[in-house]
Chains A and B, each alone.
Chain A
Amino acid sequence: MAFAAFGSSAAPVEQAPRRRSGIALILLAPGLAYLALFFLTPLISLVITSVQAPVEFGDVGQFQNAFKIENYFAVVQDYWPQFLRSFGYALIATFFALIISYPLAYFIGVTARPWPLTQAILLTLVIAPFFISFLLRTFAWKQLMAEDTPLVQGLKALSILGPDANLVGTPFAVIFGLTYNFIPFMTLPIYVTLERLDTRYLEAGNDLYASPLSTFLRVTLPLSLPGIVSGTLLTFIPAAGDYINASSSFLGSASTSMIGNVIEANFIDLLDYPVAAALSVLLMGIILLIVGLYVRRVGTEDLL
């Protein structure tokens, strides 16, 4: 239920399986046709585009079908630093988001449980960032990190930052932005699992003379694992593909560009569709591989 963790917390009612597949087919047909047409076919056309070759003496942006598998070698050779950066930044941001989100989710889901109104208010504050444009939130951080703000002056006074150093455009700023933007995605699924945690288990741990730490490690943490899995996936996947934070109009610079920036630049500005397509196919392949291995490792099989 990893991605379903946001959903209703009502327990599923046992349902008699019915076998009128005729009706099921009618219900499924429009949605499946939509997915086939606008999800599967685009993925196939991405794969086809990724091995296209430029038209001889053609204009910029003109390509013909070929079987130029070399495109893949070329993009890996040209853009491996951006790939490393994407997954590196996303991994660090996921880690920090988890460190910030877990205690917050615990506080709302377990500590604040006796006060439902407080719980509701805190939860609303967690999702509040969703209500203001993603781009404007990131833009606000850019302004707050600008040279003459109190934040930067303070860091310079404490000599954490050199006198001529900038925050905007550094890997720090990009990872900071990614962490900030995905905290609600991490907090909510963890909150959902902790909210259902039976506190009598914690009392039992205490009664059995377990220290609070070992109760946490051996009871709370394993029981909240499904929430952690969904939260980390909901953070890692979009963070690895994000290019807003790393874009130079926001928190990044040329030296922080991630794979999303390269795909965007090649597709929209340079009209080099095969390069953008090959990078997209690689990005998706690597993410599916990571997600598959991760889910198998932590043993949460039913994702949907």
Chain B
Amino acid sequence: MKFSPAKLVLPLFSALALAFLLIPIVYTFIFSFNDSVKSNIVWVGFTLDNWTNVCEAQGVCEAFGTSIVVGIAATVIATVLGTLLAIALARYRFRGRSAISLMLFLPMATPEVVLGAGLAAQFLSASVPKGFGTIIIAHALFCLSFVVVTVKARVSSLDPALEEAGRDLYGSPIQVFLRVTLPLLLPGIMAAALLSFALSFDDFIITRFNNGPVETFPVYVFTAAARGLPAEANVIASAVFIFALVLVIVGQTSSAARRRRLAKLA
């Protein structure tokens, strides 16, 4: 292949685009080490204090804990309900199937403001006090559709012959489900659960309408942003970032290794 400068345009453009995506992340990470007193705007000097005493800033750790609890609860609800829906939609033909698909698509096409305001209006008219419960209900709602989409893709790529084999070996329907279907679906379900947790953890707009006095991490950031964000918020965000990145890298290397193993077998 001949070298031509035109061939460099695309890699160069892509490198710039990726750099653009990473700028705020690098900024947030650097400023997590800033020796700031109150607001973390101007660079003062390098310190590790923010990392070693994260919980010193008022409310940061509580908000972080709240987000974790809400995320886990919402993920469990959305993953269980969504997996059942996905299996039904991918495996069974019944009347009203397309209406149900539409109803699952709609929450994804609805702007978050509308979902949040709708739920809040509902809780208001039913006089339900806002708090932990209402946040979890709201988060599980918007995670549900994403779980269905993710798990459904996995169910549709499943070979029905494997379940038939289970039935031929006199497995009861429950045994076949627990020992054949579920293990095969597990990677899809795990992916859906991780996606749910990530969506819940980062949600602000819907939470804002339904949180009442409870503060999740994004709500904390929003309230603090008006009066100056402490560097400890950057520490938490950076730590979560590193954790998620490690998780993705481990997942990708292990699935690449599995693919290599399978390729060797074939």
Q: Do A and B come from one complex?
A: yes
Q: Which residues of B contact A267 (CB under 8 A)?
A: 117, 120, 209
* A128 near B92: Cβ-Cβ < 8 Å: no
| Contact residue among B28, B148, B153 (Cβ-Cβ distance under 8 Å from A132) | B28
Shortest Cβ distance from B78 into chain A, in angstroms? 9
How far apart sit A137 and B13, CA to CA, in the bound complex (Å)?
22
Query: Known contacts A103-B13, A134-B204; is A41 also within 8 Å of B122 by CB?
Result: yes
* B92 near A20: Cβ-Cβ < 8 Å: yes
Q: Which residues of A contact B169 (CB under 8 A)?
A: none
* A31 near B82: Cβ-Cβ < 8 Å: yes
Q: Which residues of A contact B218 (CB under 8 A)?
A: 133-135
Q: Which residues of A contact B95 (CB under 8 A)?
A: 21
* A284 near B125: Cβ-Cβ < 8 Å: no
Q: Is there a chain B Cβ closer than 8 Å to A160's Cβ?
A: no
Q: Which chain B residues numbered 189 to 203 have a C-beta less than 8 Å away from chain A?
A: 198, 202
Query: Known contacts A30-B81, A284-B111; is A183 also within 8 Å of B204 by CB?
Result: no
Shortest Cβ distance from A162 into chain B, in angstroms? 23
Q: How many residues of B contact A (CB 8 A)?
A: 96
Q: Chain B 139-160 against A: per-residue CB contact (8 Å), 1 yes, 0 no?
A: 0110010001110111011111
Interface SS, B side: helix
Q: Is there a chain A Cβ closer than 8 Å to B264's Cβ?
A: no
Inter-chain contact total with CB atoms closer than 8 Å: 286
Q: How many residues of A contact B (CB 8 A)?
A: 100
* A11 near B157: Cβ-Cβ < 8 Å: yes
* B112 near A31: Cβ-Cβ < 8 Å: no
* B21 near A39: Cβ-Cβ < 8 Å: no
Shortest Cβ distance from A70 into chain B, in angstroms? 19
Q: Is there a chain B Cβ closer than 8 Å to A270's Cβ?
A: no
Q: Which residues of B contact A35 (CB under 8 A)?
A: 103-104, 107, 141, 144
* B103 near A124: Cβ-Cβ < 8 Å: no
Q: Which residues of A contact B37 (CB under 8 A)?
A: none
* B101 near A125: Cβ-Cβ < 8 Å: no
Shortest Cβ distance from A140 into chain B, in angstroms? 4
* B137 near A125: Cβ-Cβ < 8 Å: no
Shortest Cβ distance from B244 into chain A, in angstroms? 4
Q: Is there a chain B Cβ closer than 8 Å to A136's Cβ?
A: yes
* B21 near A28: Cβ-Cβ < 8 Å: no
Query: Known contacts A28-B85, A267-B120; is A124 also within 8 Å of B113 by CB?
Result: no
How far apart sit A104 and B173, CA to CA, in the bound complex (Å)?
47
Q: Is there a chain A Cβ closer than 8 Å to B248's Cβ?
A: yes
Shortest Cβ distance from A257 into chain B, in angstroms? 13
How far apart sit A243 and B113, CA to CA, in the bound complex (Å)?
8
Query: Known contacts A3-B105, A132-B237; is A31 also within 8 Å of B81 by CB?
Result: yes
What is A's interface to B at a CB cutoff of 8 Å? Answer: 3-4, 6-8, 10-13, 15-21, 23-25, 27-28, 30-32, 34-35, 38-43, 45-46, 48-49, 100-101, 103-104, 106-108, 111, 116-117, 120, 122, 124-141, 143-144, 146, 180, 183-184, 233, 237-238, 240-244, 249-250, 259-260, 263-264, 267-268, 273, 276-277, 280-281, 283-284, 287-288, 291, 303-304
- 3 nearest A-B pairs in the assembled complex, by CB-CB distance: A241-B111, A42-B118, A7-B153
A-B contact pairs, 22 of them (CB 8 A): A7-B153, A15-B91, A31-B144, A38-B141, A39-B106, A39-B141, A43-B118, A45-B118, A45-B122, A101-B17, A125-B18, A133-B218, A134-B202, A140-B23, A144-B24, A237-B109, A238-B111, A241-B114, A242-B112, A273-B124, A287-B109, A291-B109
